[in-house]
Amino acid sequence: MMNKIVLCAVVVGTLSACGFTPVYKKGESAYDFVGCHAVSVNPSEDGSKAFIGPGIRLKLGDTVWFKQVNDDLTVSPVTTGRYCE
C-alpha cells in the first residue's frame, strides 16, 4: 500500500517538476490526477470501477489517485470513494 503511494508521489512530482502538461487524444486511454480518494464502493452505482491495472480492482479502503479521461476529454467526479482527509 505504501509503495503505491510513494510511486504515485514520485511520478506526479517528477512530471510537475518538468512542467509537464498532459495532452489527451480522443479514443486513447488517458488518466488524470484527482487527488487521494479512499475506495468505499467498487464498482459504484454508475458502473465506475477503481482499479490499479488491467483486471486488478482496488479493495475497499485502498486509495485511488487517478481517474480515466472520458472520450470528450473531461474527467468525471470520483464515484467509487471519498476524498482522503
Q: How far, in Å, CA of 28 to CA of 64, rounded? A: 21
Cell digits of residue 2: 505504501
Residue 18, domain member (yes or no): no
Residue 16, domain member (yes or no): no
- For range 2-30, the mean pLDDT: 63
Q: How far, in Å, CA of 19 to CA of 48, rounded? A: 30
Nearest 5 degrees, angle CA 32-CA 10-CA 63? Answer: 55
Residue 35, domain member (yes or no): yes
Of 40, 42, 39, nearest in space to 65 by CA:
39
Give this prediction's pTM: 0.65
Per-residue pLDDT at 17 exceeds 60: no
- For range 21-48, the mean pLDDT: 86
Residue 65, domain member (yes or no): yes
Residue 6, domain member (yes or no): no
Per-residue pLDDT at 37 exceeds 90: yes
Higher pLDDT, 29 or 19: 29
Give the residue numbers spanning the domain of 46. Answer: 23-83
Residue 1, domain member (yes or no): no
Residue 58, domain member (yes or no): yes
- Give the chain's domain count: 1
Residue 44, domain member (yes or no): yes
